[in-house]
């Protein structure tokens, strides 16, 4: 199927016609017409409850969206991924992050080779290391116990680990501290280590390629900082550095003992690697047993995605709703609003997952798309966002579909806090959907000149995603839910969710300008006049002119 073919799908045309006739239908009316709507437009699997009734859809919308999924070959795409086909066509790679959470004894193959035993071999090595470090058996160069772990990585080698650490802090060993350094801005590194004792610090250099400029710059500074604090004894590196990478030779060149390297594979994309060895910091924090619980949660949602009929399939439903808003309502952004403080980095994590995966404008065969693809994802935890940007969601001119994520039980029960938190989440979805009419505002005694300001048009869509408690398994389910929702969207748009040429570009471009900023001699500049001028201005400030 080529790009034009998507727009020629019978379901696509039917959805266009359906949109034209239903686009102004108000959620208030949908709910009035069907008092059971709030129980009908729901789905539950793997302990995740999805209420999608407050979306601008009816049964026909749903039927047509699922028909579009069928016509777009979503089933084949799912099967191809789980079969280990090289579905990352632009990099000629299989995409098998689902194998990272397959139980011991399962079989997922690439080119006839079962990759699951290799996955568990690495998990076992990680677990052995984690036990040693957590028990204090692993000592630093001066025989002191490690008290702080600093993960150095960026993008997929940072956002997953930091999100998971924050999300699962409740389950972590509080006698160990964790820091995450990603930015090449020296402030990030210096602030992270300013109060640390090198003798008690372990660095994890997390880099799939082990060539990423930011990570290697930070890793080199970390090595200098360590050696400066430990009398320059380079033997210390082996006790204070471990690596997570696919590139053993570069790891060895850096001076890290490859016995302390934890590998993964080219069939794991960076943004899909938090449950591979890139999750080493997570395992050190929460311990191997909890880490395995997290993997089991991922796996449960993977199996649901792989096997459940589309109409009950949570990732498919979430993904197709995103397609509905993106391609028919011309929605530009989607807000993700966790009512759970521990998920404060979840929106940042999701930004990479969603936008690096589906921010594409050519199809799998390299042809330009003639429809919109990945929307912008953003968000903040509730209730904080309510006191800032929710204004625009309630009363602005744009439709911003929202995912409200909440847990039935708090990990930190404290007086009435949780009841108030959840009441806010529910109240927001209600207000967004139903709004407040001028008549209602007037009935409250509002002065006439203020009525317009206080009207809420409503009809603003949202999903509510409820889980029981934020356990490691719950986090795995939630991440897997979004991973497969992204996959579903990508299958409809026929884009490659698994490459990132836009990110690669940045890696190359900076390498060209660095020497031009640093050279002693005046460089021959051949950029545009703006870039040339900015380079000269920087050089002048450094007195290199
Ligand atoms: C993720 C991307 C990107 C990558 C980083 C770090 O899917 O590919 O964010 O994770 O650029 O790359 P390394 O792990 O190779 O340092």
Q: Is the pLDDT of residue 237 over 50?
A: yes
Is residue 356 part of the annotated active site? The answer reads: yes
As given in the structure block, the two tokens for residue 238 are 């082996």
Which residues lie closer than 8 Å to 494 by C-beta, 6 or more apart? 1, 2, 3, 6, 72, 363, 364, 369
Q: What is the pLDDT of residues 178-227, one digit of tens each?
A: 999 999 999 999 999 999 999 999 999 999 999 999 999 999 999 999 99
pLDDT of amino acid 511: 86
pLDDT of amino acid 2: 52
Is residue 387 part of the annotated active site? The answer reads: yes
H or E segment and range at residue 49: strand 48-51
Q: What gap in Å lies between CA 305 and CA 422, rounded to an integer? A: 28
High-pLDDT (> 90) share of the chain, %: 97
As given in the structure block, the two tokens for residue 161 are 């680990």
Instruction: Give the residue whose CA is nearest to atom 13 of ligand 1.
Output: 207
Q: Is the pLDDT of residue 91 over 60?
A: yes
pLDDT of amino acid 3: 47
pLDDT bin (cut points 50, 70, 90) of residue 543 is confident
Claim: this prediction has a pTM higher than 0.75: yes
For the Cβ of 480 lying below 6 angstroms from any atom of ligand 1, the answer is no
pLDDT bin (cut points 50, 70, 90) of residue 508 is confident
Q: Is the pLDDT of residue 504 over 90?
A: no
Residues 5-30, mean pLDDT to the nearest whole number:
97
Q: How far, in Å, is the centroid of ligand 1 from the Cα of 499? A: 11
**Residue 386 Cα to chain centre, angstroms:** 22
Q: Out of 26, 120, 344, 507, pick the active-site residue.
A: 507
Contact 101, 302 (CB under 8 A): yes
pLDDT of amino acid 90: 96
Q: What is the pLDDT of residues 325-368, one digit of tens each?
A: 999 999 999 999 999 999 999 999 999 999 999 999 999 999 99
Looking at ligand 1, which atom is closest to the CA of residue 214?
16
Hey, how many other C-beta atoms are within 10 angstroms of the C-beta on 163?
26
Is residue 453 part of the annotated active site? The answer reads: no
For the Cβ of 356 lying below 6 angstroms from any atom of ligand 1, the answer is yes
Contact 24, 56 (CB under 8 A): no
Phi and psi dihedrals of 229, rounded to 5? -85, -10
Q: Out of 356, 380, 483, 516, pick the active-site residue.
A: 356
Contact 400, 333 (CB under 8 A): yes
Q: Is the pLDDT of residue 455 over 50?
A: yes
For the Cβ of 154 lying below 6 angstroms from any atom of ligand 1, the answer is yes
Query: Ligand 1 pocket check: which of 277, 353, 503 to mutate, most ligand atoms within 8 Å of Cβ?
Result: 503
Q: Which CA distances in Å does 463 have to 335, 358, 476?
A: 10, 20, 19
Looking at ligand 1, which atom is closest to the CA of residue 155?
9
In the predicted model, what is the mean pLDDT of the chain?
97
Instruction: Give the residue whose CA is nearest to atom 2 of ligand 1.
Output: 270
Task: Select from 495, 373, 359, 371 the least CA-distant residue to 9.
Answer: 371
Query: Ligand 1 pocket check: which of 209, 270, 275, 349 to mutate, most ligand atoms within 8 Å of Cβ?
Result: 270
């Amino acid at each position: 199927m080529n790009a034009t073919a998507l727009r020629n799908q019978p379901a696509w045309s039917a959805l266009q016609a359906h949109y034209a006739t239903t686009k102004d239908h108000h959620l208030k009316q949908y709910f009035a017409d069907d008092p059971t709507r709030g129980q009908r437009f729901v789905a539950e699997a793997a302990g995740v409850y999805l209420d999608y009734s407050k979306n601008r859809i009816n049964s026909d919308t749903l039927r047509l969206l699922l028909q579009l999924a069928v016509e777009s070959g979503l089933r084949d795409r799912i099967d191809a991924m789980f079969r280990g086909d090289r579905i990352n066509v632009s990099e000629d790679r299989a995409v098998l992050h689902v194998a990272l959470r397959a139980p011991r004894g399962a079989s997922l193959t690439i080119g006839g080779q079962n990759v699951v035993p290799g996955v568990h071999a690495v998990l076992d090595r990680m677990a052995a290391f984690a036990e040693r470090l957590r028990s204090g058996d692993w000592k630093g160069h001066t025989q002191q116990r490690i008290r702080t772990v600093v993960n150095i990585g960026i993008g997929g080698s940072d956002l997953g680990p930091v999100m998971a650490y924050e999300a699962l802090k409740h389950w972590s060993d509080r006698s160990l501290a964790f820091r995450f350094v990603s930015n090449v801005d020296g402030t990030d590194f210096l602030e992270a280590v300013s109060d640390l004792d090198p003798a008690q610090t372990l660095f994890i250099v997390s880099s799939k390629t082990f060539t990423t400029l930011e990570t290697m710059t930070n890793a080199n500074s970390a090595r200098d900082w360590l050696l400066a604090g430990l009398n320059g004894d380079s033997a210390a590196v082996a006790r204070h550095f471990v690596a997570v990478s696919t590139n053993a030779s570069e790891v060895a060149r850096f001076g890290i003992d490859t016995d302390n390297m934890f590998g993964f594979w080219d069939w794991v994309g960076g943004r899909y690697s938090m449950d591979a060895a890139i999750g080493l910091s997570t395992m050190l924090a929460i311990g191997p047993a909890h880490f395995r619980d997290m993997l089991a949660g991922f796996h449960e949602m993977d199996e649901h995605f792989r096997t459940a009929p589309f109409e009950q399939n949570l990732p498919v439903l979430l993904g197709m709703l995103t397609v509905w808003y993106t391609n028919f309502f011309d929605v530009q952004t989607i807000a993700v609003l966790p009512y759970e403080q521990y998920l404060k980095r979840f929106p940042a994590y999701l930004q990479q997952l969603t936008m690096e995966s589906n921010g594409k404008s050519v199809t799998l065969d390299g042809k330009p798309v003639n429809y919109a693809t990945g929307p912008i994802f953003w968000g903040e935890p509730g209730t904080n966002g309510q006191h800032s940007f929710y204004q625009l969601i309630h009363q602005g001119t744009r439709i911003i579909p929202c995912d409200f994520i909440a847990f039935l039980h708090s990990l930190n029960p404290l007086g009435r806090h949780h009841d108030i938190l959840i009441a806010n989440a529910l109240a927001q979805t209600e207000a967004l959907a139903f709004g407040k009419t001028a008549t209602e505002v007037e009935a409250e005694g509002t002065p006439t000149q203020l009525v317009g300001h206080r009207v809420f048009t409503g009809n603003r869509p949202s999903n509510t995603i409820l889980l029981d408690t934020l356990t490691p398994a719950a986090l795995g389910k939630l991440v897997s839910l979004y991973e497969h929702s992204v996959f579903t969207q990508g299958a409809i748009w026929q884009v490659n969710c698994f490459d990132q040429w836009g990110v690669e570009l940045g890696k190359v471009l900076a390498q060209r300008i660095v020497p031009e900023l640093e050279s002693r001699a005046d460089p021959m500049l051949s950029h545009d006049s703006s870039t040339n001028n900015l380079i000269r201005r920087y050089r002048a400030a450094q007195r290199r002119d």
